């Protein structure tokens, strides 16, 4: 018996052979390896037995030909497939992870089922020999379709038990389904994918896809959007979203809890909050004495200089990059205030700091480094249209 994942017959165990004469996926090098150039590969069509081996050989050749700069991927793979062989999809995803291969789904492409799982293996670099210590790199261009759903059994496979032995057929189907479920869960754990997402995916009806559409979907799977526009919200609403993301949405604030201030007002106010609790400072000596000196707070230039010096010394005050907003009233984990300075030109450029009683801290939940603008959008906003 074979599994079906997406629209094509698949196998759950490596020893099962694909159907003879079935065309494999197309693997095409679009941009060749060259000094300073990241090779571009396009993988399209259904995933079939043998595709992972073909990809492994190609990546092996690229590895011998190129020496990527530290932190950059060996290659980028564009994916366009309606699904296919589950095992091949997982194997290709592992190859992407192990060889530092970034993945992308373009605006007019569709990547479903086994293809979507392989996509999640996209990696830019590893920080150590530990395969789980990696920098994910998988991008979805707004308009592209990335969808997941549960595998299912193909009763028309040549390996399916005959109708004369239905009990044995059910037993075999259960064993094979359990093996495939285990393989998917282990894959997710190896890639650091949220277990709740995997559980939701595997309990959906066979013909129902979970598409990556909302801000939460992108963040959960660590997928970065390409071509995402800034939300049509006021700067105050954008700052509110940033703070709600930064505090984990456990106790989201509302518009009435947002207060705006100028950069100058913000520096003075934030220094005054430090004065009220000197023990929260992470530095001692001259800077602490300056902060304790109230005459300093009457000189605007001295305020600017002291603010910059305290930040340079490691005090977690937010960098002022534009308008500043205070969002108050957070109760989860103790009363907290969130401060955001927001650039109006660059949606990826903003600074956040959380003030709790007795200390300042960076956000516990941060947006991916190369798509920080995601946090400007509400968690439930549909930022990528459904099919």
| Higher-pLDDT residue of 334, 30 | 30
Q: What is the pLDDT of residue 242?
A: 96
Is residue 216 domain-shared with residue 267, that is, in the same domain? no
Cα–Cα distance, 114 to 93 (Å, whole number): 9
If asked whether residues 303 and 281 sit together in one domain, one would say yes
Same domain flag for 159 and 244: no
Shared domain for 190 and 280, answered yes or no, is no
Tokens 């809890």 — which residue? 257
Domain end among 226, 258, 286: 226
Same domain, 124 and 143: yes
Distance, first Cα to last Cα, the chain: 32
Please count the structural domains in the chain: 2
Query: Which of these, 27, 24, 37, 22, lies nearest to 68 by C-alpha position?
Result: 37
Domain membership flag for residue 385: no
CA distance 35 to 65: 10
- Is residue 354 in a domain? yes
Q: What are phi and psi of 309, to 5 degrees?
A: -65, -40
**Are 209 and 100 within one domain?**
yes
Pair (209, 62) in one structural domain? yes
**Structural domain contains residue 52:** yes
Q: Where is the domain boundary, 180, 205, 226?
A: 226
Lowest mean pLDDT among 88-97, 138-147, 157-166: 157-166
What is the pTM assigned to this prediction?
0.83
Residue 159 is assigned to a structural domain of this protein: yes
For 50-72, the pLDDT digits (tens) are: 999 999 999 999 998 888 888 88
Residue 287 has pLDDT above 90, yes or no: no
- In a domain? residue 386: no
Check which CATH number belongs to the domain holding 57 and give it.
Answer: 3.90.226.10
Residue 164: predicted pLDDT = 61
Please indicate, yes or no, if residue 220 is contained in any of the structural domains: yes
Residues 49 and 145 in one domain: yes
Asked whether residue 254 carries a pLDDT value surpassing 80, the answer given is yes
- Assigned domain for 128 exists: yes
User: Strand (E) positions, the chain?
Assistant: 2-5, 8-10, 26-31, 40-44, 75-80, 101-105, 110-112, 123-126, 134-136, 138-141, 145-148, 152-154, 210-211, 224-226, 258-261, 324-330, 336-342, 350-356, 359-361
CB atoms within 10 A of CB 146: 27
Whether residues 220 and 290 share a domain: the answer is no
Tens digit of pLDDT for each residue in 76-120?
999 999 988 889 999 999 999 999 999 999 999 999 999 999 999
Q: What is the pLDDT of the chain when averaged over all its residues?
A: 82
What would the DSSP string read from start to end of 287-341?
Answer: HHHHHH-GGGGG-HHHHHHHHHHHHHTT--PPP--S-EEEEEEE-TTS-EEEEEE
Residues 149 and 267 in one domain: no
How many CA atoms, within 13 angstroms, populate the side-chain half-sphere of residue 264? Answer: 6
Q: At a CB cut-off of 8 Å and minimum separation 6, what does 81 contact?
A: 6, 25, 43, 44, 45, 46, 47, 110, 111, 112, 114, 115
- If asked whether residues 207 and 288 sit together in one domain, one would say no
Q: How many CB atoms lie within 10 A of CB 234?
A: 12
Same domain, 293 and 314: yes
Q: Which of 226, 259, 287 is the last residue of a domain?
A: 226
Name residues whose C-beta falls within 8 Å of residue 61's C-beta, 6 or more positions apart in sequence.
Answer: none
Report which listed range, 171-175, 231-235, 299-303, is most confident: 231-235
In a domain, 387, yes or no: no
pLDDT tens digits, one per residue of 274-285: 776 664 555 556
Tokens of 30: 């679009």
> Could you list the residue range(s) of the whole structural domain that residue 18 is in?
2-226
Expressed in percent and rounded to 5, the helix, strand and coil fractions of the chain are 35, 25, 40
Residue 343's pLDDT is: 96
In angstroms, how far apart are the furthest CA atoms of the chain? 93
């Amino acid at each position: 018996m074979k599994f079906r994942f997406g629209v094509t017959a698949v196998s759950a165990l490596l020893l099962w052979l694909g159907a003879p004469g079935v065309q494999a996926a197309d693997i095409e090098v679009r941009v060749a390896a060259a000094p300073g150039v990241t090779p571009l590969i396009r993988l399209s069509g259904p995933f079939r037995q043998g595709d992972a081996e073909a990809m492994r050989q190609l990546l092996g050749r690229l590895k011998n030909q190129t020496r990527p700069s530290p932190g950059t991927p060996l290659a980028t793979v564009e994916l366009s497939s309606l699904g296919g062989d589950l095992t091949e999809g997982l194997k290709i995803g592992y190859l992407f992870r192990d060889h530092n291969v970034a993945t992308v789904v373009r605006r007019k492409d569709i990547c479903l089922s086994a293809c979507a799982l392989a996509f999640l293996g996209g990696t830019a670099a590893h920080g150590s020999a530990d395969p789980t210590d990696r920098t994910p790199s998988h991008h979805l261009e707004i308009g592209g379709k990335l969808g997941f759903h549960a595998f299912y059994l193909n009763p028309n496979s040549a390996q399916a038990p005959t109708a004369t032995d239905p009990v044995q057929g059910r037993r075999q189907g259960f064993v094979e389904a359990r093996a495939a479920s285990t393989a998917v869960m282990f894959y997710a754990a190896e890639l650091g994918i949220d277990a709740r997402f995997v559980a939701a995916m595997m309990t959906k009806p066979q013909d129902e896809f979970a598409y990556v559409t909302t801000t939460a979907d992108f963040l959960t799977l660590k997928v970065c959007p390409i071509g995402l526009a800034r939300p049509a919200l006021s700067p105050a609403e954008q700052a509110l979203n940033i703070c709600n993301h930064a505090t984990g949405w456990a106790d989201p604030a509302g518009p009435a809890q947002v207060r705006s201030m100028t950069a100058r007002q913000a520096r003075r106010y934030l220094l005054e909050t430090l004065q009220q609790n000197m023990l929260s400072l992470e530095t001692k000596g001259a800077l602490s004495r300056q902060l304790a000196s109230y005459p300093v707070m009457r000189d605007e230039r001295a305020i600017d200089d002291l603010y910059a010096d305290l930040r340079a010394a490691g005090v977690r005050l937010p960098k002022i990059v534009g308008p500043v907003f205070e969002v108050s009233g957070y109760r989860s984990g103790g009363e907290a205030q969130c401060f955001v300075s927001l650039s109006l030109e660059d949606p990826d450029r903003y600074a956040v700091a959380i003030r709790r009683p007795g200390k300042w801290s960076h956000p516990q939940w941060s947006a991916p480094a190369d798509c920080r603008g995601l946090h400007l959008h509400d968690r439930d906003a549909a930022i990528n249209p459904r099919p």
